[in-house]
Chain A
Amino acid sequence: MPPQDAPQPDWLVWSRFKLRPLAPPPVPEARVEAVYNDWVLDTIAPEVDPSFYRRAAGIGPEEDPVRHFAEHGWRARLNPNTLFDIGFYLEFYPDIAEAGMNPLFHYAYYGRAEGRMPARPGGQPRHVVEQARIPSRRPPGWDAPEGAPPVSEAELRTALARACLGRTGLVLSVSHDCYVNVTGGIQILIADEQALFNADRTAYLHIAPAIARFTFAPAAEEVLLQVTLDGSFLGLAPESVVEAALGAPFLPRHRLFVVHSVLGHRAAALARLAATLGPAESVFWVHDFSALCEGFNLLRNDIAYCHAPPPTSTACRICVYGAERQSYLAAMHRLFAAVGFHVVAPSRAALDLFLSRTSLPMRSARVHENLALGPAEPLPAPADGPPRVGFAGFAIPPKGWAAYQRLLQRQAGHDTYRFLHFAIPGHDVSMTGLAKIDVEVRPGQRLAMVQALREAGVDLVAVLSPWPETFSFVAHEAFAAGADVVALEDSGNIAAAIRRHGRGVVLRDSDAFVRFFEEGWALDYARQRAQAPVQAHAMHLTGTTGTLDPARLATTPVPPGETADPGLIVVRPDGVAAPRLEGDTQRFALPAGTTEIRLVSRHTVAPGDARQLGIAVTALSLDGTPVPLNDPRLAEGWHAPEAIWRWTDGNALLRVAGAKLLEITVATVAPWRRVPLAA
């Protein structure tokens, strides 16, 4: 045991135990001897990952992967492992291609010593960045079942009438896909929500777009919706049909409007549906951060957590999600302003982040956790042997697979840990040293992951999402199974849950994750864990709209949030201009031919002033020529001029008649509200 004051490395952000590195067991002798008595085969044998290569080549256990690679594989450009890229090597080093030499042999025998590169530098992150696309320019994907029937207004009215017979309430629920046809955390949560409402004499109508998108649908295209009523998929109907059916006079009086995701919908159409429904309350769930940015997981260019900087930042400028973020947020703002949502987040971490970055108007904001862990129950001590390190779910970058794969690659040939991948059948990553365990969580088998983790005796589950997850079922499943969790610092509720439950390790970044295992800190963690009582938990599924207390919704105020930044932007017909600050003066470049613009800002409250206030403008100039504050070019959204300034209402029209440079001086009268005046 290290002494209590033993310094812990700065990359070890939080740990259940005070740790010190333990020496890993010696690396076993090279796993392949010079058994081929062939110069080429014996040279490449240590480089071929048998498990990876067998899968790539589609060969069975009867074939020798090294021999197969040497005789067929390299010519077919089948890579021998996850680190060596034959296509790259031959293209980048044409001398090898011209010589007709086995490129892996060349690399192993000459190339490595010559400093040649085995694959394009930058690896998976570079590939992810190059693949990132602006959301509206990604091809939309058809998401509805083949042959889904159309639903007419009359059919939907009839179905609603039947469903509402004897019921006292109706929920209109919105998300990005049809929860009865897709398996996933949010989909299961919506199914729970529906069941709870149905049990409470409330009908549950759910709509999802038939075409999946990563942003709002284009404003001019009516969205075809997948319509599900009380868990039965009815078919497809355009927004106008759903809107007309919701106008029926027989619907129950108590109505709720619940938004789980807006992606694929049109903001204006959702606002109209809400207006037609006339809900007592409307709820917007922060399951992700799509209310802050089209990049719902705040991964800039799909690669790194961005911390949701201002939309005018350079980071947003170079990000695929920044290109349209301002117009996207403007549409989101109109939706929030029209509906008047109560915002609900599944964790404090998610709500705090959301509120610190938004200026959307809302009626209240609160935390409602998706599930709770029951009292601990002791489990038998872990089995002997190397610590078992699991990865649960899809092996994809947003779940942190790259870091886990890097550890696997570096641990190849070692016997320090056992690596296990828990995922749905058919989702296999073949790497030597990685065992796959099939698990499918779905309604009726909700605890499949918990059971699988428990049966495998997993010590540590790597939940390596590089973005602030709003809840993370996987982390809670790991706790329930008695395992501890390894996560990264910026993982939102994952890191928060580790600290709250005292179950795991929080590391600074993916480099720290690799060090934690490579340097033997994880061995000490596992040793101490084996000596502490291992505890499992029951999982109680709680947090859906169906378990919110409607009486509380209307009473909790929005947490205060103030800022010295008026958040002023110039909205043009063709885009948005960012300011350049010089003291109190904000300068905007305007493209040639701009005739009018809107000055959009946060709101403020001045003492004793009941008006809706945006910014107090003390000076304005166009192309260096001052514009008087009573000039008719200050057209709409301006309060009357006062002695030294003129207030906007937060969205004011200015006619600029082709000017290219706008300068505005703004007085700070009171702090601006991050959350503008509530509706």
Chain B
Amino acid sequence: MPGIACYTSFTYAYLSRARVLARSLRRLHPDWSLWAVLTDHPPAGLPPDALAEFDHVIEASALGMADFPAWLFKHDVVEACTAVKATMLRHLLAQGAEKVIYLDPDIAAFAPLDLLSDRLDAASIVLTPHQTTPDTTEAAWRDNEGGSMRYGIYNLGFLGVRNDRTGQDFAAWWEERLLAACYDAPEDGIFTDQKYCDLVPGLFPGVHVERDPGCNVASWNIAHRPVRITRAGEVTAGGRPLRFYHFTKIGPPGTQAPGNVMTERYAGENFEVHELVAWYRREVAAATQPEAEAHPWHYGRWADGTPIPRPARLLWRARADLRRAFPNPFDPTGLLHWIATQEPAILGRDPAG
């Protein structure tokens, strides 16, 4: 599989966003091979062409992780979708892709990404920092630079890797870390797959930090990258062509979805940003498959349908004895039964009941 492989990782609840990403890439890069890795099982009644925007679809369970159910049970949905990224990267490198690009499913591309793929002619790894310009107010510092210090300097909504020795070494290192602990645990210095990558420029040679303001534009840097639309109809950010925008946590208009709040706060009077967001909402609505939208995450429940609360996952991470005792934690007669009798508070149940 020569050429450029581009992949994204999601569950079916995010299918509409992933389709918007894939459509935006397809029109700009018809020669890229587009991959979807799904940490989920397909919902009943999903039309066969629901993933037609992608050239290849693979379930995370097919990537060959050891003891997949037991490992996956440690993760909530965001942790799980990020935890499989490194294994998928190695899969694509093993398939022979010359360059691999990862993009989050809530990204959309507006101009060709050749700038980034061309960087991989010289570099082995390309990362995009959340911020490339210092913030000037304390409130913004706390939201944005402070966020980077807690959750990671580089936004792992984008990653570029060349299939060379360094790229392969990086992928192996990253996979080892993610299989061990891809958790939302900033108190432990860990934030999913992202915070580990603060170490990458130190650990590996050939790392390019992409500071082009048109890359990975999002609420956390929009204040420094004003979006403009030229007379010729080109969209720019910070004076450069807008290559891709990261629509993190954007919700319906008028709601307090975190992406709405941060976008409104930092885009302010830059109405062109609101135009992009309104477009994105329309595209997502048009790409929505109702079966997928309403689909509960397959790994979010025990096999009998009982929702898995986060404390149950934390317990499972912490207790090697439970992991030995119950090889398949999704089996309701095993771990769930144990929790219901021994730790009912985890399920929100009265111990006496």
Residues of A within 8 A of B (CB): 91-92, 115, 117, 120-123, 125-126, 128-130, 132, 134, 300-301, 303-304, 306-307, 309-310, 313-320, 323, 577-578, 580, 587-590, 592, 660-661
Given A121-B268, A122-B267; A132-B232 close (CB under 8 Å) = no
Contact of A306 among B229, B268, B279 (CB under 8 A): B229
Say which residue of B49, B111, B254, B278 sits within 8 Å of A129 (CB atoms).
B278
| Beta-carbon contact of B30 and A313 below 8 Å | no
B227-267 CB mask vs A (1 if < 8 Å, else 0) is 00111111100000010000000000110100001001101
With A315-B229, A580-B112, A661-B30 as contacts: A122 and B274 at CB distance below 8 Å: yes
Chain B residues with Cβ below 8 Å from A315 are 229-230, 233-235
Q: Is B12's CB within 8 Å of the partner chain A?
A: no
Q: Give complex CA distance A117, B261 in Å.
A: 11
**B276 contacts A by Cβ under 8 Å:** yes
- Knowing A306-B233, A315-B234, the reply to whether A122 touches B271 (Cβ < 8 A) is yes
Question: Chain B 295-339 against A: per-residue CB contact (8 Å), 1 yes, 0 no?
Answer: 000000000000000000000000000000000000000000000
24 contacts between A and B (CB under 8 A): A121-B267, A122-B269, A123-B269, A125-B271, A126-B271, A129-B274, A129-B278, A130-B253, A301-B275, A303-B271, A309-B232, A309-B233, A310-B233, A314-B110, A314-B111, A314-B229, A314-B242, A315-B229, A315-B230, A315-B234, A578-B27, A580-B28, A592-B52, A661-B31
Min CB distance B20 to A, Å, is: 12
Chain B nearest Cβ from A235, distance in angstroms:
39
Q: With A314-B235, A315-B235 given, is the CB distance from A125 to B274 under 8 Å?
A: yes
Please, what's the 1-or-0 string for B10-30, where 1 marks a CB less than 8 Å from any CB in chain A?
000000000000000011101
Most B CB contacts (10 A, CB to CB) among A115, A125, A316 go to A125
The answer to whether B264 touches A313, judged by C-beta atoms less than 8 angstroms apart, is no
Residue from B28, B234, B279 having most chain A Cβ neighbours under 10 A: B279
Partner of B269, one of A125, A304, A314, A590: A125
CB of B165 closer than 8 Å to a CB of A: no
The CA-CA distance from A577 to B235 in the complex, in Å, is 19
On whether A92 and B267 interact (CB within 8 A), knowing A301-B275, A303-B275, the answer reads: no
Contact status of A130 and B265, CB under 8 A, knowing A313-B232, A580-B112: no
A313: chain B residues within 8 A (beta carbon): 232-234
Q: Which residues of B contact A129 (CB under 8 A)?
A: 271, 274-275, 278
Chain B residues with CB under 8 Å of A661's CB are 30-31
Residues of chain B within 8 A of A320, CB atoms compared: 282
Q: What 8 pairs between A and B have smallest CB-CB spacing?
A: A313-B233, A309-B233, A589-B30, A315-B233, A125-B271, A318-B279, A307-B231, A129-B274
Q: When chains A and B are docked, how far (Å) is the Cα of A117 from the Cα of B274?
A: 18
The B96-115 residues at the A interface (CB cut-off 8 A) are: 110-112
B139 contacts the other chain (Cβ, under 8 Å)? yes
Measured CB to CB, the nearest residue on chain B to A123 is B269
B89 to chain A minimum Cβ distance, whole angstroms, is 25
Residue on A with the closest CB to B28? A580
Given contacts A92-B256, A589-B27, A589-B30, contact A130 B278 (CB under 8 A): yes
- Cβ-closest chain B residue relative to A128: B271
Q: Which chain A residues lie closer than 8 Å to B231 at the CB level?
A: 307, 309
Other A-B pairs beyond A315-B235, A320-B282, A661-B30, 12, CB < 8 Å = A122-B264, A122-B268, A122-B274, A125-B271, A129-B278, A132-B278, A300-B229, A580-B30, A588-B30, A589-B26, A589-B27, A661-B31
Tell whether, in the assembled complex, residue B269 and residue A134 are in contact, meaning their CB atoms are under 8 Å apart. no
User: Chain A residues with Cβ under 8 A from B276's Cβ?
Assistant: 318
Min C-beta distance of B128 to chain A, whole Å = 20
Whether the Cβ atoms of B278 and A314 lie closer than 8 Å is no
- Hey, what's the 0/1 contact readout for B28-72 against A, CB within 8 Å counting as 1? 101100000000000000000100100000000000000000000
Contact B229 A130, beta carbon cutoff 8 Å: no
Q: Is A304 in contact with B139, judged by CB distance below 8 angstroms? A: no
The complex places the Cα of A314 from the Cα of B272 at a distance, in Å, of: 12
Q: How far is A123 from B228 in the complex, measured between Cα atoms in Å? A: 18
Q: How far is the CB of B126 from chain A (nearest CB, A)?
A: 22
**In the complex, what residues of B have CB within 8 A of residue A306's CB?**
229, 233
Chain B residues whose C-beta falls within 8 Å of the C-beta of A309 in the assembled complex: 231-233
Which A residues touch B274, using CB under 8 A? 122, 125-126, 129-130
Provide the bound-state CA to CA distance between A307 and B232, in Å: 7
Report B159 CB to chain A, min CB distance, Å.
24
* Bound complex: CA A122 to CA B112 (Å): 29
Shortest B7–chain A CB gap in Å is 18
What residues of A have a CB within 8 angstroms of the CB of B49 in the complex? Answer: 592
Is the Cβ of A115 less than 8 Å from the Cβ of B139? yes
Contact of B271 among A304, A310, A323, A592 (CB under 8 A): A304
Which of B31, B267, B275 contacts A318 (CB under 8 A)? B275
- Residue in A122, A589, A661 whose Cβ sees the most chain B Cβ within 10 Å: A122
Q: B240: shortest Cβ distance to chain A, in Å?
A: 13
Contacts of B253 in A (CB 8 A): 130
Name the distance in Å between A28's Cβ and chain B's nearest Cβ: 29
Contact partners of B110 in chain A: CB under 8 A: 314, 317-318
List of A residues within 8 angstroms of B271 by Cβ:
122, 125-126, 128-129, 303-304
Q: What residues of chain B lie closer than 8 Å to A578, measured between beta carbons? A: 27
Inter-chain CA distance A134–B274, complex, in Å, is: 16
Which of A122, A304, A589, A590 makes the CB contact (< 8 A) with B229?
Answer: A304
B139 / chain A contacts, CB cutoff of 8 Å: 115
Contact B233 A314 (CB under 8 A): yes
Q: What residues of B have a CB within 8 angstroms of the CB of A128 in the complex?
A: 271
Distance of A130 Cα from B263 Cα, bound (Å)? 14
Q: Which residue of A lies closest to B137 (CB)?
A: A115
Residues on A with beta carbons closer than 8 Å to the beta carbon of B254: 130
Complex Cα distance, B275 from A578, in Å, reads: 21
Q: A317 — which chain B residues lie within 8 A by C-beta?
A: 110, 279
For A590, the chain B residues whose CB sits under 8 A away are: 30
Residues of B contacting A323 with CB < 8 Å? 282
Q: A130-B274, A303-B275 are in contact. Are A121 and B233 (CB under 8 A)?
A: no
